[in-house]
């Protein structure tokens, strides 16, 4: 039973505690004091003994009823109270207390409110000032009454009105009357005291006025003249002689007046029998001056004295940093100084006084160091300044050559050596070091860095800075031949470039299959025993390294392929998917090569590594396998699952020197082969429209440039299908083998290497006919040129490199030597306005063997192009027609049609053509064409007759329409 009642008891305790914590927010809204019987509108000042109201307003902001009580005080005297009151939620409670006070003055009405504990704020206090009775507002003139001088007493009420019928009593503290009377409105009561001392002023009036009682003090007057000096009315300056004179109200001198000056220094003075005092203030600043005398009593006087500082003697020295042995000028900048002598003391202590002429002094400092300048001038601060005279340092550097000793000389501005100068030397490849110059001002050290920063310093000297960039000597490798066969000797020598003298250097020869030969010499014979590309470097400390290369071709016996390999061209090997025989370049069929039909090499079928479990095969195919830099290669990874798998990771390690070209838009063209062969052509859109973008350079999910590993994740929940990944690489180096390594891995852990082709070779061959891009890519570049994304020279270089025609006669730099190309323009000299005109451009080729030419024709404004032959392209923004012709360029005629403008005038045509061999040349022939209004018999008359006939017809039609409308209205 007790256990069952426990929850009930707990509930009651919780309920009571919740109830007791409820709060009510109560606030005092207003407390006002109002007179019951005001003497005038707005009067809130009750008279002594008169009742007045105190109104208190309280508002309950809570949601519960609040209770409390109130007490009203006047200063410390309790006047009234209110017992318990209550305020409903959201309501206003107001209560008025009626109280009075018998005394006259200003008091505080204090309201104390005590609320119950359930309110947010239990106790409130608010006070309000209340004035009981009327006050007199009294002013004296002067405020400090002086003996034997009239004192006026002005009496007003709170509104500023003059008060009449007030009783004034002036007497002593002992109650002895001195003067009295009654005031009248708009009149001022006055009295003249005949002695010094204290007087009691009492003012009374009926009608509720409070008595005014005040002590009036009467003294003598101090009349102070000063402080002043001879500069008056200007302020004195420090150390000026100052004077103060003091007189009484009757203009008689007053001796014994105590004067105190307070400021940056305190000065105490007394006037003599003549009321006079003479003094000096040494420190500038603002001082307060207090004058007082108590016997007989005088009113004290306070004044302010502003003492200015002595102005300094201002000078300037030019140059700003004077140099030893060179004239320096001291200029006095003060406007009021016309004459001044300056004493100049040199670093050795010798002094001489120099007089200024036209406010300038010229002197020649005989030594470097600190000079002291002194001068004195009345009313100015003494001049005491220092002047530093310098030496100007210079750094002289003689023939700096890297690796050699260099002599650094520090000179002064007279070109004399400066001994014991501190030279700080900071090299780009070594730590900073410091050396002192010898008696010749020299420092010698070896140049080991490619740049030095020098700083020369010495006391009383202007710092000098210099930079040394040593001349770097260059090595030059000289080869007796760059193309030789096996067992044919080559002589290699090293000389210093420009000097052409032998240099002993370290010569390193590197060949294929890790071959390396090193020798320190100025020259030697070397006989290669294997074919291939050899790279040579010559190096020596403090010299710039030289690099060269040469090619060793195999002998005639080596032009036959091994039995496992076949002799074919690179294009044929790419189609069959063959790789290089033995992984290296091996030329074959030398007799065919001499025909100029292209190079032949030994190729073999790619070997395929068999995995233990035939779950998946990944085969690599690379095209092309022999390439000259710069160029691109395509790598194809064909993934062929032998059973159902959902995912595989393909990892390729890309060789150094081959940079991935992810996102490369490597478009292919399915029907472009025949069109490529049909040279020349110019309609790029016709060829590039059938674009098949199935093959693009596929970016791997992971590419780590440091490890050179690319990873592709091939995933498919329904099982991956046979597919090919293609990615593109850019070749920038030459004369190297590039070996590919790769593997695939399944989630089961099964892994195997990627089979197929795994090596490409970059071939160094100045006369190679290998094109850097494929024919489809060439078309893409033409498309870019047509849209102004490639320059004329860039597209012509590509055309020249990929041309299938004979290279013709070559100059020493590998360019074709042409006899000439001429493009001329033909059109009529005069045409009518708005007429069709045909223009011809004749391309005359004087040399059969031009791989490409660009022709541009600028059309004048206001002409409209109607047709273009040979599939040229018109750019309306540039107002320009462009043709590009490549392949076997032949003599031909290009034409286009245009419509003449409606405005007559003379128009000029301009054009040019570009070939890689001859550059830019202007189109010759006709340039200007005259557009005229058609002329004929009566042409002008018939023109105006036609206009008149049209106007008459329009008028007749209008009249006919109006008549019809009139008939309908009738």
Return the structure tokens found at 624: 């092309």
Interval 910-957: pLDDT, tens: 999 888 767 788 898 888 999 998 865 444 555 556 677 778 888 888
User: What percent of the chain lies above the pLDDT cut of 90?
Assistant: 32
Interval 361-399: pLDDT, tens: 999 998 899 999 999 988 899 999 999 999 999 999 988
Could you tell me the residue ranges of all domains in the chain? 23-132, 137-218, 223-307, 315-389, 392-468, 473-553, 566-605, 611-672+691-765, 804-932, 939-970
User: What percent of the chain lies above the pLDDT cut of 70?
Assistant: 80
Q: Is the pLDDT of residue 695 over 50?
A: no
DSSP letters along 428-470, please?
TTS--EEEE--TTSEEEEE--SS-EEEEEE-TTEE-EEEEE-P
**What number is the average pLDDT over the span 579-592?**
66
**What number is the average pLDDT over the span 36-65?**
78
Residue 582 — φ and ψ, nearest 5°? 70, 10
CATH number given to 392-468? 2.60.40.10
Q: According to the model, what pLDDT value does residue 61 have?
A: 82
Q: Is the pLDDT of residue 692 over 50?
A: no
What whole-number distance in Å separates Cα of residue 357 and Cα of residue 354? Answer: 10
Q: According to the model, what pLDDT value does residue 418 have?
A: 93
Which residues in 281-364 belong to E strands, given as ranges?
285-292, 301-307, 315-318, 328-332, 341-345, 351-355, 360-363
Topology annotation, domain 804-932: Immunoglobulin-like (2.60.40)
More confident residue, 776 or 571: 571
pLDDT band at 305 (very low <50, low <70, confident <90, very high): very high
What whole-number distance in Å separates Cα of residue 106 and Cα of residue 130? Answer: 6
Q: According to the model, what pLDDT value does residue 933 have?
A: 85
Lowest mean pLDDT among 40-44, 258-262, 531-535, 588-592: 588-592
Return the structure tokens found at 639: 């993934």
**What number is the average pLDDT over the span 705-722?**
89
Q: According to the model, what pLDDT value does residue 344 have?
A: 94
Q: Which strands, in side-by-side order, build the sheet including 223-228?
A: 223-228, 241-247, 276-280
Element (H, E) at 968: helix 939-969
Lowest mean pLDDT among 116-130, 534-548, 864-878: 116-130
Q: According to the model, what pLDDT value does residue 682 have?
A: 42
Element (H, E) at 687: helix 684-688
Q: According to the model, what pLDDT value does residue 17 have?
A: 25
Q: According to the model, what pLDDT value does residue 183 have?
A: 87
Q: Is the pLDDT of residue 59 over 90?
A: no
Q: According to the model, what pLDDT value does residue 379 have?
A: 86
Q: According to the model, what pLDDT value does residue 441 have?
A: 92
What whole-number distance in Å separates Cα of residue 956 and Cα of residue 227? Answer: 112
pLDDT band at 579 (very low <50, low <70, confident <90, very high): confident
The candidate with the shortest Cα–Cα distance to 229, out of 311, 308, 283, 334, is: 308
Q: What is the separation of C-alpha 4 from the centre of its chain, rounded to a whole number of angstroms?
A: 81
Most confident of 30-39, 233-242, 774-783: 233-242
pLDDT band at 2 (very low <50, low <70, confident <90, very high): very low
Q: According to the model, what pLDDT value does residue 687 have?
A: 42
Do the domains at 223-307 and 611-672+691-765 have one common CATH topology? Answer: yes
Q: According to the model, what pLDDT value does residue 261 have?
A: 95
Helices (H), 59-198: none
**What number is the average pLDDT over the span 639-644?**
88
Contact 553, 587 (CB under 8 A): yes
Q: Is the pLDDT of residue 432 over 80?
A: yes
- Taking the CA atoms of 579, 583, 589 and 592 in sequence, report the sign of the dihedral they define: positive
Lowest mean pLDDT among 213-222, 683-692, 771-780: 683-692
Q: What is the separation of C-alpha 420 from the centre of its chain, rounded to a whole number of angstroms?
A: 46
Give the count of beta carbons closer than 10 Å to the beta carbon of residue 41.
5
CATH class of 315-389: mainly beta
Hunting for tokens 């194809």 — which residue is that? 636
Return the structure tokens found at 467: 């930079």
Q: According to the model, what pLDDT value does residue 427 have?
A: 87
Topology annotation, domain 611-672+691-765: Immunoglobulin-like (2.60.40)
Q: Is the pLDDT of residue 590 over 50?
A: no
What whole-number distance in Å separates Cα of residue 329 and Cα of residue 322? Answer: 9
What whole-number distance in Å separates Cα of residue 574 and Cα of residue 627? Answer: 12
Helical packing angle, 775-786 and 792-802, nearest 10°:
160
Which residues in 511-585 belong to E strands, given as ranges?
516-521, 523-526, 532-539, 543-544, 546-553, 566-569, 579-580
CATH number given to 137-218? 2.60.40.10
Q: Is the pLDDT of residue 481 over 90?
A: no
Lowest mean pLDDT among 225-234, 314-323, 351-360, 724-733: 724-733
Q: According to the model, what pLDDT value does residue 660 have?
A: 86
What whole-number distance in Å separates Cα of residue 492 and Cα of residue 546? Answer: 12
Pairing of strands 830-832, 928-932: parallel
- Can you tell me whether residue 393 is helix, strand or coil? coil
Contact 356, 362 (CB under 8 A): no
Give the count of beta carbons closer than 10 Å to the beta carbon of residue 658.
22
Instruction: Classify residue 220 by its DSSP letter.
Output: B
Of the candidate CATH numbers 3.40.50.300, 2.60.40.10, 3.40.50.620, 3.30.1490.100, the domain formed by 23-132 belongs to 2.60.40.10
* 557 CB-near residues (< 8 Å, 6+ apart): none
**CATH architecture entry for 473-553:** Sandwich (2.60)
pLDDT band at 733 (very low <50, low <70, confident <90, very high): low
Q: According to the model, what pLDDT value does residue 222 have?
A: 94
Length of the chain counted residue by residue: 970
Domain 223-307 CATH superfamily? Macroglobulin (MG2) domain (2.60.40.1930)
pLDDT band at 129 (very low <50, low <70, confident <90, very high): confident
pLDDT band at 512 (very low <50, low <70, confident <90, very high): confident
What whole-number distance in Å separates Cα of residue 841 and Cα of residue 486? Answer: 55
Instruction: Classify residue 816 by its DSSP letter.
Output: B
Lowest mean pLDDT among 11-15, 262-266, 421-425: 11-15
pTM to 2 decimals? 0.39
Mean pLDDT value across the chain: 81
Residue 434 — φ and ψ, nearest 5°? -125, 135
Burial, 415: exposed, middle or buried (Cβ in 10 Å; 0-12, 13-18, 19+)?
A: exposed
Q: According to the model, what pLDDT value does residue 519 have?
A: 92
pLDDT band at 417 (very low <50, low <70, confident <90, very high): very high
Q: What is the separation of C-alpha 304 from the centre of its chain, rounded to a whole number of angstroms?
A: 55
């Amino acid at each position: 039973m007790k256990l069952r009642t426990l929850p009930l008891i707990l509930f009651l305790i919780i309920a009571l505690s919740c109830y007791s914590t409820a709060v009510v927010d109560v606030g005092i809204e207003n407390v006002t004091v109002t007179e019951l019987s005001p003497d005038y509108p707005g009067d809130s000042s009750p008279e002594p003994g008169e009742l007045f109201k105190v109104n208190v307003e309280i508002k309950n902001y809570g949601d519960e009823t609040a209770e409390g009580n109130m007490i009203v005080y006047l200063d410390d005297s309790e006047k009234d109270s209110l017992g318990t009151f209550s305020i409903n939620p959201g309501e206003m409670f107001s209560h008025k207390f009626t109280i009075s006070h018998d005394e006259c003055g200003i008091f505080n009405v204090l309201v104390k409110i005590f609320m119950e504990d359930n309110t947010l704020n239990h106790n409130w206090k608010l006070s309000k000032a209340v004035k009981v009775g009327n006050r007199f507002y009294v002013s004296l003139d002067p405020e400090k009454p002086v003996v034997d001088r009239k004192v006026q007493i002005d009496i007003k009420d709170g509104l500023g009105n003059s008060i009449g019928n007030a009783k004034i009593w002036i007497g002593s503290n002992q109650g002895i009357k001195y003067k009295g009377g009654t005031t009248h409105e708009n009149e001022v009561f006055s009295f003249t005291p005949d002695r010094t001392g204290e007087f009691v002023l009492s003012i009374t009036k009926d009608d509720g006025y409070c008595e005014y009682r005040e002590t009036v003090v009467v003294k003598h007057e101090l009349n102070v003249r000063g402080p002043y000096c001879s500069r008056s009315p200007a302020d004195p300056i420090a150390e000026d002689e100052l004077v103060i004179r003091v007189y009484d109200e009757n203009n008689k001198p007053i001796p014994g007046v105590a004067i105190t000056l307070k400021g940056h220094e305190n000065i105490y003075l007394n006037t003599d029998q003549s009321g006079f005092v003479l003094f000096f203030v040494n420190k500038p600043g603002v001082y307060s001056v207090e004058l007082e005398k108590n016997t007989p009593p005088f009113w004290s006087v306070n004044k302010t004295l502003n003492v200015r500082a002595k102005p300094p003697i201002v000078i300037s020295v030019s140059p700003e940093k004077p140099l030893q042995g060179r004239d320096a000028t001291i200029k006095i900048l003060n406007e009021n100084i016309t004459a001044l002598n300056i004493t100049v003391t040199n670093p050795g202590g010798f002094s001489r006084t120099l007089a200024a002429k036209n406010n300038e002094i010229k002197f020649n400092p005989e030594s470097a160091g600190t000079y002291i300048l002194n001068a004195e001038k009345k009313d100015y601060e003494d001049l005491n300044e220092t002047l530093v005279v310098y030496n100007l340092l210079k750094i002289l550097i003689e023939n700096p050559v890297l690796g050699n000793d260099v002599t650094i000389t520090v000179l002064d501005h007279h070109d004399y050596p400066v001994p014991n100068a501190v030279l700080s030397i900071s090299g780009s490849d070594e730590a900073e070091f410091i050396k002192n110059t010898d008696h010749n001002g020299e420092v010698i050290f070896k140049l080991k860095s490619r740049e030095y920063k020098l700083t020369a310093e010495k006391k009383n000297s202007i710092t000098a800075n210099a930079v040394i960039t040593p001349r770097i000597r260059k090595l030059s490798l000289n080869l007796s031949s760059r193309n030789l066969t096996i067992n044919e000797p080559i002589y290699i020598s090293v000389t210093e470039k420009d000097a052409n003298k032998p240099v002993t250097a370290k010569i390193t020869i590197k060949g294929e299959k890790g071959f390396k030969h090193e020798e320190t010499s100025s020259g030697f014979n070397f006989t290669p025993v294997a074919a291939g590309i050899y790279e040579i470097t010559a190096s020596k400390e403090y010299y710039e390294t030289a690099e060269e290369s040469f090619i060793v071709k195999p002998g005639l016996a080596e032009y036959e392929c091994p039995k496992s390999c076949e002799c074919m061209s690179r294009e044929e090997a790419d189609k069959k998917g063959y790789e290089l025989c033995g992984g290296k370049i091996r030329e074959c069929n030398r007799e065919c090569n001499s025909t100029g039909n292209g190079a032949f090499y030994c190729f073999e079928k790619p070997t395929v590594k068999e995995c233990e479990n035939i779950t998946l095969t990944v085969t690599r195919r690379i095209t092309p396998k022999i390439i000259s830099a710069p160029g691109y290669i395509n790598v194809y990874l064909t993934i062929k699952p032998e059973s159902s798998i959902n995912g595989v990771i393909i990892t390729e390690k890309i060789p150094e020197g081959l940079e991935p070209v992810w996102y490369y838009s490597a478009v292919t063209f399915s029907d472009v082969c025949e069109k490529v062969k049909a040279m020349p052509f110019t309609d790029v859109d016709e060829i590039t429209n059938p674009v098949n973008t199935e093959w693009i350079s596929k970016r791997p999910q992971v590419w780590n440039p440091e490890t050179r590993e690319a990873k592709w994740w091939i995933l498919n929940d329904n099982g991956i299908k046979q597919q090919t990944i293609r990615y593109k690489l850019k070749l920038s180096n030459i004369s190297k083998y590039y070996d590919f390594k790769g593997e695939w891995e399944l989630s089961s852990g099964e892994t195997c290497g990627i089979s197929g082709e795994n090596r490409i070779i970059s071939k160094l061959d100045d006369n190679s006919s290998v094109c850097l891009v494929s024919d489809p890519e060439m078309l893409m570049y033409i498309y870019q040129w047509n849209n102004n994304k490639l320059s004329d020279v860039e597209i012509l270089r590509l055309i020249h490199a990929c041309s299938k025609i004979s290279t013709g006669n070559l100059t020493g730099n590998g360019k074709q030597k042409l006899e000439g190309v001429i493009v001329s323009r033909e059109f009529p000299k005069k045409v009518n306005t708005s007429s069709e005109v045909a223009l011809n451009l004749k391309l005359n080729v004087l040399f059969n063997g031009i791989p490409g030419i660009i022709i541009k024709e600028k059309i004048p404004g206001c002409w409209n192009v109607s047709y273009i032959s040979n599939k040229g392209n018109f750019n309306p923004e540039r107002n320009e027609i462009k043709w590009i012709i490549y392949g076997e360029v032949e003599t031909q005629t290009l034409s286009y049609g245009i419509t003449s403008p409606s405005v007559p005038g003379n128009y000029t045509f301009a054009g040019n053509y570009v070939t890689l061999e001859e550059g830019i040349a202007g189109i010759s022939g006709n340039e200007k064409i005259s557009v005229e209004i058609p002329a004929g018999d009566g042409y002008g008359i018939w023109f105006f007759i036609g206009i008149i006939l049209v106007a008459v017809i329009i008028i007749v039609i209008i009249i006919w329409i109006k008549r019809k409308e009139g008939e309908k209205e009738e």
